Every structure is written in C-alpha cells, then in structure tokens.
Amino acid sequence: MALSLVKSQRHNLDLLMRANAQAVGVLRHSLRQAPKAEKLKKTLPEPTLPERLSKYKHSAANVAACFAILLLTKIGVFSSMQGLQTHSQEVLKQYYAGHIGQDLADEIFPA
C-alpha cells in the first residue's frame, strides 16, 4: 500500500537521490565507500520527454496563435483584395461606358 501511494504522488527530482543515499547508508562500510556507491548517491532521474518539453508549452502556444492570426489575416486580406479588384473593375467599366460608350468599355473590360 505504501508503494502505491509513492507512485501516485509527484515528487521532486531529488527523491531518487535521497532514496539511494538511504539505501547506501545501510550497506557495509566497505561498500558505502565504493566509487559506485558515491555515484549512486548523486544519481538523479531522467525526466521524460513530455516533462522536458512542458516548459516550452506556453511559447509553442503563443507561436501557434501568431501563425493562426497571420494565416487568417492573409486569407482575409486576399479575399478582400479580390472583392475590391472585381468591384473596381465594374466601377471603371461603368465610368468608361458613360464617357466613351458601352461598346468600347466592353472591349476594354471583357466579361
């Protein structure tokens, strides 16, 4: 039951180091002084990939939001420009039709 509680709770990264130090402490004196025992006392766990990348999640979300805004702006600007171009051609066609005649306006601005 104690082990299930240990697994279910998040602990600091130094938990492994403290547990190893306690485990080495109960060994015979000759084993406690071995180089591998000293290395074991100072061992820290390797964080998983999601734990290592979690500190970048806000930055990644901000970059993704910027790209989304740029994409939506580009789509909006180009669709507006297309509508503006179509509307301006109609206005120019009407202008030329009024000043030089409908037949010449039709030649300049074919449908």
Q: Per-residue pLDDT for 109 more than 70?
A: yes
Q: Per-residue pLDDT for 53 more than 80?
A: yes
The pLDDT confidence band at residue 4, using thresholds 50, 70 and 90, is low
In sequence order, which residues have a C-beta less than 8 Å from that of residue 41 and are 6 or more positions away? 17, 20, 21, 24
Mind listing the pLDDT tens digit for each residue in 22-41? 776 776 666 667 777 777 66
The pLDDT confidence band at residue 78, using thresholds 50, 70 and 90, is confident
Q: What number is the average pLDDT over the span 56-76?
A: 89
Q: What is the pLDDT of residue 104?
A: 86
